[in-house]
Amino acid sequence: MTDTPDWNAYEAEAAAAAQAAASSDDLEEARVRFLGRKSDIALGLREVRDRETGMLLNGVRTRLEETFDTRAARLADDELDRRLRDEIVDVTLPGDELPLGHLHPITQIRRMVEDAFLGLGYEVRDDREVETVEYNFDKLAFLPTHSARSPRDTFFFDPNHVLRTETSPSQIHIMEEKEPPLYMVSIGRVYRRDAITATRYPIFHQFEGLAVDRGLTLADLKGTLLHVMRALYGPERKVRFRTHYFPFTEPSIEPDVSCGICLGSGCRTCKYSGWIEMGGAGMVDPTVLANVGLDPEEWSGFAFGCGLERTAQLRHDIPDIRALWEGDLRVLRQF
């Protein structure tokens, strides 16, 4: 080693080279030149004999290493930014197709009904669909001449067995199984001998509510149905009662809910009445209570029944009930 280099100038030159490097590759080249094994400073350090020079050179090398590291981090950031700027995707393209299924609208309605009644403190049940004439008609106080007892209206297997025509036999089953007070809703399939049309299907679903307690009134029934109809159709709906006749309730009524399409002013859906029929209801007939061994002077009850398909048709504006039974994915995937 003949000359003693000017280490201040070396440091300044190296730092300038680091700053001038436009890429990680340029920077690495400069690092090899100024800090590599064959760089002047590496050689210089190898030949250091005195402490003072050693401290000087180590100081230069440490500062240069910092400078190069800082510059390297900066260049890496810039390069990442540049690369990411080129990785632009069309965000309007569809994402990966992941499987997602669909609950049938009847199941969705069933759960809404269950939840509404759970909130009112009811238990949920379902009973057998093949019923005896005793449970489907006799214990529910159907008169011998009631048209539902005709094979023209009801599916008979033999004179004693039918496909249940409503969920009402559940009333008898629960009253025979348990002591009152009773609050239950029964949900399931029922069967009527109807020709298949846009509004009727011989198989459909009903929910049937029953409350048996001391001192129940028609007003309690009205309040209960108001809650349930609002749960199903929205909080602004109104409920009214019309007199009706069912063998197993007295007084019997039909509840109407205000039309959600015209909000009561009259339209085609509500046949210009502003109201939509929701099913049947009434106070449990004393004969039915007596049939299961309850004293009608002590116990009173109310009951109501309603179709799930009808509810689904009204909620979702489904014009043809058959769409609910055909398993067509174009229909099912809407729900």
Partner 1 sequence: MRVPVSWLRDYVAMDMSLTELATKLSIASAEIEGIETRGVADEGGNLGLFRIGKVREAIKHPNADRLQLTKVDLGEAEPRSIVCGAWNFGVGATVAVALPGATIPARPGLPDGLTLERRKVRGEISDGMILAEDEIGLGADHEGIMVFPEIEPGTLLADVVPLSDKVLLVEATGNRPDLQSIYGIAREIAAIYDLDLAEAPGLIPVGTPGGPVKIQVGDFERCSRYVGTIVQGVTVGHSPLIMKARLLGAGMRPISNVVDITNYVMLTLGSPLHAFDLATLNGGGINVRRASDGEKLTTLDGVERVLTADDLVIADDARAVALAGIMGGAETEVSADTHTILLEAANFESHGVFRSSERHRLRSEASGRFEKGVDPQLADQAARWATELIVEFAGGTWTSWNDVHAGLPARPFVEFRPERADAVIGVKTTPDEQFRILGKLGFEQEGTGVIVPSWRARDVTREIDIVEEIARFRLEEVPFTLPQRREMFGVLTREQKLRRRLEDALVGLGFAETYTPSLRPDDETTWKLPEPISVDLTALRTTILPSLVEAVARNIDAGAKNIALFEVARVYLPGDGDLPTERVRVAGIVEGGFSRAKGVVETVYAALKAEPAFARGEHRLLHPGKAATTGAGIVGELHPRELDGEWGAFELDLDDLFAASREPITYTDVITYPAVRQDIAVVVGEGVAAGDIVATARTAAGAELREIRVFDVYRGEQLGAGKKSVAFSVAYQADDRTLNDEDATRLRDAIINALATEFGAELRA
Structure tokens at 49: 């004999």
Q: Which of residues 162-191 bind partner 1 (CB under 8 A)?
A: 181-183, 189
Which among 325, 32, 295, 46 is positioned nearest to 202, based on CA atoms? 325
11-50 positions binding partner 1, by CB under 8 A: none
Query: Least distance to partner 1 from the beta carbon of 248, Å?
Result: 12
Q: What angle do CA 34, 40, 41 make, to 5 degrees?
A: 75
Q: How far is CA 145 from CA 6, 244, 286, in A?
A: 123, 18, 20
> Using CB distances below 5 to 8 A depending on partner kind, what does residue 121 bind out of partner 1, Zn ion, none?
partner 1
Q: Give the one residue of 15, 56, 226, 261 binding Zn ion; rule: CB under 5 A.
A: 261
Count residues contacting partner 1 (CB under 8 A)? Answer: 87
- Alpha-carbon span 46 to 54, nearest angstrom: 9
> What CA–CA distance (Å, rounded) separates 57 from 36?
14
Rank residues 19 and 160 by Cβ distance to partner 1 and give the closer one. Answer: 160
Which one of Zn ion, partner 1, none interacts with residue 240, CB within 5 to 8 A by kind? Answer: partner 1
Residue 223 binding: pick among Zn ion, partner 1, none (C-beta 5-8 Å cut-off by kind): partner 1
Residue type, 57: L
Q: Which stretch binds partner 1 (CB under 8 A): 3-11, 41-49, 165-173, 322-330?
A: 322-330
Half-sphere exposure of 68 (CA within 13 A, CB side): 23
- The single residue among 86, 87, 90, 101 that binds partner 1, judged by CB under 8 A, is 101
Q: Is position 133 an interface residue for Zn ion (rule: CB under 5 A)?
A: no
Q: Name which position in 33, 74, 222, 315 contacts partner 1 (CB under 8 A).
A: 222
Closer residue to partner 1 (CB): 44 or 255: 255
List beta partners, residue 317. Answer: none
Q: Under the criterion CB under 5 A, does residue 267 sit at the interface with Zn ion?
A: yes
**Smallest distance, partner 1 to C-beta of residue 260, A:** 19
Compute the distance between CA of residue 161 and CA of residue 135 in angstroms, rounded to an integer. Answer: 10
Rounded CA gap, 127 and 104, in Å?
21
